[in-house]
């Protein structure tokens, strides 16, 4: 079987580039490790690791083109020209990724300087997903059927009058399906479809890419500054780099309750809103609205971006609750890019360890609002809970 080739260095989620920009400024010497977590217990066929390695090796040839650089300069003016010059000279180094396979179990470890390795996670997951379906010879719906499924979904969201974002790069069925979905959303999205987190497809759509930061931003800060200070210093550093742009804060790295206890009036006013990624979405919305009222801020001036395993029914329930209370939008991932008549994959690649200046490797922790999304060693999880009083 032939390897899969990515078509662009921008075929990645936007928050990877925004975080890379910030890491280069603030933590250029930090080293990290990421690990693959097979949550769905998927069985990988013999030879899968070799196929993934061949596909990954071809990524070393990707380069930022002049047109892509011009696009970023126009749509993302908060990215420094020096960073865009860096990105133009950047190339993936496949030696940063170790891939092994024991029977049907796939193991992937990424290691190196954070400012370099931060770009691997999303395209690597999209390759694993696409190659999984190819190597198992699983047949998807045809192109017309995928377009019809996507059109029906966005038509329903149009009628509901909600704002929809496409967040499905990591676990997409394939590049071709992702392209079909974005083409259909662009054609039929009317006022509902705001765009995509995938920078490559955002450029094709002639829209600005969407996204801010991910859990790893907060996880690294916990290792550097301690669990109690992780949220506050993460937000402070973000505002240092972006000065109010990209103002949607992720809340659940160390549970939403801990986050809001530290999301003081300064940050509550400075950030445009928050992102929901785990736990009950309506309970979350209630907490957000109550928090802004407590801070003396009108909730209608703020926004929630919901992004946790959404489908039409979930969006309807959330929209009915939030309507006329707070602004909202919905980042829909796998339900758009992997609804092809096959079971979608359940997998992640997460930051596992960091190595700060002149120190040893240190494990990192994520304490989600859902237990199955918590990551880290039992010892580090227990320590984080003890320190944070959870």
- DSSP, collapsed to helix, strand or coil, labels residue 355 as strand
The pLDDT value given to residue 4: 87
- Longest distance between any two alpha carbons in the chain, whole Å: 60
> Cα–Cα distance between 39 and 175 in angstroms, integer?
22
Residues of the chain with pLDDT under 70: none
The pLDDT value given to residue 2: 84
> Cα–Cα distance between 284 and 330 in angstroms, integer?
14
The pLDDT value given to residue 191: 86
| 364-389 exposure pattern, b = at least 16 Cβ within 10 A, e = fewer | bbbbbbeeebbbbeeebbeebbeebe
> Cα–Cα distance between 254 and 372 in angstroms, integer?
14
Q: Within the chain, where are the H helices?
A: 14-26, 48-57, 66-75, 81-89, 114-117, 121-135, 143-160, 175-188, 199-205, 215-225, 230-242, 256-262, 265-270, 281-294, 312-322, 334-337, 378-388
For 313, half-sphere exposure in the C-beta direction (CA atoms, 13 angstrom radius) is 0
Cβ contact 178:172 at 8 Å: yes
What are the distances in angstroms from CA 368 to CA 8, 186, 267? 32, 33, 21
Model pLDDT for residues 288-298, shown as the tens digit of each residue:
999 999 999 99
**Domains parsed from the chain with CATH numbers:** 14-138+346-388 (3.20.140.10), 143-337 (3.20.140.10)
> Cα–Cα distance between 67 and 381 in angstroms, integer?
45
> Cα–Cα distance between 46 and 377 in angstroms, integer?
29
Q: What are phi and psi of 348, to 5 degrees?
A: -145, 160
Model pLDDT for residues 161-189, shown as the tens digit of each residue:
999 999 999 999 999 999 999 999 999 99
The pLDDT value given to residue 186: 97
- DSSP, collapsed to helix, strand or coil, labels residue 114 as helix
- DSSP, collapsed to helix, strand or coil, labels residue 314 as helix
The pLDDT value given to residue 358: 77
The pLDDT value given to residue 278: 94
- DSSP, collapsed to helix, strand or coil, labels residue 115 as helix
The pTM assigned to this predicted structure is: 0.97
Considering only CA atoms, which of 171, 203, 155 is closest in space to residue 309?
171
């Amino acid at each position: 079987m032939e390897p899969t080739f990515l078509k662009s260095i921008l075929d990645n989620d936007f928050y990877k580039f925004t975080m890379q920009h910030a890491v280069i400024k603030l933590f250029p010497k930090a080293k990290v490790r990421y690990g693959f977590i097979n949550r769905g217990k998927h069985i990988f066929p013999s030879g899968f690791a070799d196929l993934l390695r061949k596909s990954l090796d071809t990524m070393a040839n990707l380069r930022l083109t002049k047109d892509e650089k011009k696009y970023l300069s126009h749509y993302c003016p908060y990215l420094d020209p020096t960073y865009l010059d860096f990105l133009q000279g950047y190339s993936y180094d496949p030696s940063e990724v170790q891939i092994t396979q024991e029977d049907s179990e796939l193991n992937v470890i990424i290691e190196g300087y954070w400012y370099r390795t931060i770009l691997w996670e999303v395209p690597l997951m999209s390759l694993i997903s696409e190659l999984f379906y190819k190597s198992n010879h699983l047949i998807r719906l045809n192109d017309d059927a995928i377009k019809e499924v996507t059109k029906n979904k966005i038509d329903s969201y149009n009628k509901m009058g909600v704002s929809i974002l496409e967040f499905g790069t990591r676990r997409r069925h394939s590049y071709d399906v992702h392209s079909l979905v974005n083409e259909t959303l662009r054609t039929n999205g009317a006022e509902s479809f705001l765009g995509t987190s995938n920078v490559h497809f955002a450029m094709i759509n002639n829209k600005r890419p969407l996204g801010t930061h991910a859990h790893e931003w907060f996880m690294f800060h916990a290792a550097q500054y301690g669990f109690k200070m992780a949220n506050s210093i993460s937000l402070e550093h973000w505002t240092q780099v972006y000065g109010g742009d990209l103002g949607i804060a992720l809340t659940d790295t160390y549970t939403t309750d801990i986050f809001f206890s530290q999301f003081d009036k300064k940050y509550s006013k400075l950030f445009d809103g928050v992102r929901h990624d785990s736990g009950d979405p309506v309970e979350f919305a209630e907490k957000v609205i109550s928090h802004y009222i407590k801070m003396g801020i009108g909730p209608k001036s703020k926004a929630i971006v919901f992004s946790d395993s959404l489908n039409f029914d979930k969006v309807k329930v959330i929209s009915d609750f939030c309507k006329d209370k707070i602004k909202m939008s919905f980042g829909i991932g796998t339900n758009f890019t992997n609804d092809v008549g096959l079971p979608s994959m359940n997998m992640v690649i997460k930051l596992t360890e960091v190595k700060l200046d002149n120190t040893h490797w240190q494990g990192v922790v994520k304490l989600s609002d859902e237990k199955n999304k918590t990551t880290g060693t039992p010892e580090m999880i227990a320590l984080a809970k003890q320190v944070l009083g959870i």
